[in-house]
Amino acid sequence: MRYPRLRIYRSVFRSDLFAPSCLPRNPPQFRCQFARYSHDSSPYADPVPSPDDSIFVAMSGGVDSSFVAHLLASKYTNVTGVYMANWTQQRTPRHEIKRPISHRMSKNPEQLRQYREKEEQRNKDAMEIGVSCTETEWNDVCGVCQDLKIPAIRVNLEKEYWTDVFQPMIDRYSIGRTPNPDVDCNRYIKFGKLYDIIENTANQHGASKWWLATGHYARAAIHKETGRTHLLKPKDQIKDQTFYLATVLRSRLDNVLFPMHQYTKKEVRELAIKMKIRTAYKPDSQGLCFVQPTVSAKAAKQAFREGRKISSSTSGYRHFRDFLSEYIPEKEGHIVTYKGVVVGKHPGLWSATIGQRNGITPGKIKGHEEDGPWYVIEKRQETNEIVIAPGRNNRWLSSSAMTCAEWSWLVDDEKISEVYELAKHGQLTVRCRPLQNPMITIKQIEDLGNGNIRLEFIGSAHGIAQDQYGVLYYRDIVLGGGRTESIELAYRENLQPAETEQEPHSGVA
């Protein structure tokens, strides 16, 4: 069978999306100077605070935010470190998390002995911390601020985090969806409640201008012609975090600094070591404050010097699935193939993700000619079933369009019609999950009203799950984002079987 050759057409459409509007050049509300970025031809410039501006650095106790604090404290006098206490639960000791030992390892005495020795050492490293995640981070923030001789402020936002981020996440997981709490945390907590607190604090102290700086790998830059602030991709495309910032209110970008946009993660780590920042060897966080590493600073430093990566298997991260099981009641159901053959059981719809390899034996299953491995293609809330199909790129994981709810634009209202035109000419792309590469080209955008939009793809997208986010880009510019409400399969055959057949084969998701 011959397939048509892919032809690439270069559109002659020219958009004035970022051309001067009614705003004057360099409007007075931008009191900062312009900093050049990489070369003179760039249409963007980074905001540079004035010497008397107040700068608040959101610090998590990690190397990135500590590095930002060092950069700004070396240039400005009115710098303050701010720590958000969002989660104060104690860590679960690693030995209390019952992780299964593989059958192969259990039959090998030497491998089993080595495994138990490593587990014992990990437990000792975890006990060196001995306090909650929040207290550990707060101590690191205080230490860094003390080194820099700048004040440190602790803000308790645990109630707001629980109400606006954590409880909605649990509710959505419990019905089989796949939420992204990092996106919600940025919108409602860091650039929501914390932003409001900093603004009130700055106003009470009579600050003429104030800034909120974070360690995100993203860029908030001012368009030289329009004076508008846009969210752009950073230098380090591997660490690009614009996906998590796409739903932040666009008016708040005017007071935000993202100094990390001009560095790669490797450069930051090396510079932090040279600058002798006390958190230089600290392992990267998972983004979720309740799923953090329990590795000690000593162990992290040793691993870095030996060139070893500190991952979830070596640092004592809590298994996210183990964590969810503490908050979501178990609701056992069947794992079925796309033909309706029951092959195993699952503890709840939350235990699997669309596109995830299921863990079922990769051999043949009765009633199916295909071999495995098998992947999750659907989660049925009505029957509490997880549906699987063979092959990672099977047809049931391909989508031709998606509908996003609670859409948030980062462009001016009068420019949205031009965004729609860019889509018709194939100049926009969308990410359906963080760091998705390549991104999906958009064919058409349809406004469904009430903050809902439909994105139709050129070609198809793989493995989109409900309650993930769709983020729209024009080249390096972030245009907006919204929560995935529904998808349209490229393959439209009904998956629901006429009757269910039992298969004597066991397995779990």
Asked if 54 contacts 205 with a C-beta cutoff of 8 angstroms, the reply is: yes
Could you give the CA distance from residue 218 to residue 244 in angstroms, rounded to a whole number?
Answer: 10
- The owner of tokens 């983004």 is 287
- The owner of tokens 């972030």 is 478
Could you give the CA distance from residue 176 to residue 179 in angstroms, rounded to a whole number?
Answer: 10
Q: What 3-state DSSP class applies to 78? A: coil
- The owner of tokens 């892919």 is 6
- The owner of tokens 């600290």 is 282
Four-residue CA torsion sign, 56, 58, 63, 68: negative
Catalytic residues: 185, 289
- Please report, for residues 162, 175, 250, 313, 407, the alpha-carbon distance to residue 171 in angstroms, rounded to integers and kept in the order given: 12, 7, 28, 28, 20
> Could you say which DSSP state residue 43 is in?
S
Element (H, E) at 160: helix 158-161
Phi-psi region of 264 (alpha: psi -120 to 50; beta: other; left: phi over 0): beta
**Among residues 373, 350, 378, 348, which one has the least CA distance to residue 362?**
373
Could you give the CA distance from residue 295 to residue 281 in angstroms, rounded to a whole number?
Answer: 11
Alpha-helical segments (H) within 394-506: 416-424
Asked if 95 contacts 297 with a C-beta cutoff of 8 angstroms, the reply is: no
> Could you say which DSSP state residue 351 is in?
G
On the 0-12 / 13-18 / 19+ scale of CB atoms within 10 A, 306 is exposed
Asked if 434 contacts 244 with a C-beta cutoff of 8 angstroms, the reply is: yes
Beta bridge partners of residue 453, listed in sequence order: 404, 447
- The owner of tokens 């809902």 is 452
**Among residues 433, 458, 436, 435, which one has the least CA distance to residue 445?**
458
Could you give the CA distance from residue 322 to residue 88 in angstroms, rounded to a whole number?
Answer: 18
- Please report, for residues 193, 258, 266, 270, 309, the alpha-carbon distance to residue 305 in angstroms, rounded to integers and kept in the order given: 39, 29, 14, 11, 10
**Token representation of residue 27:** 């409007």
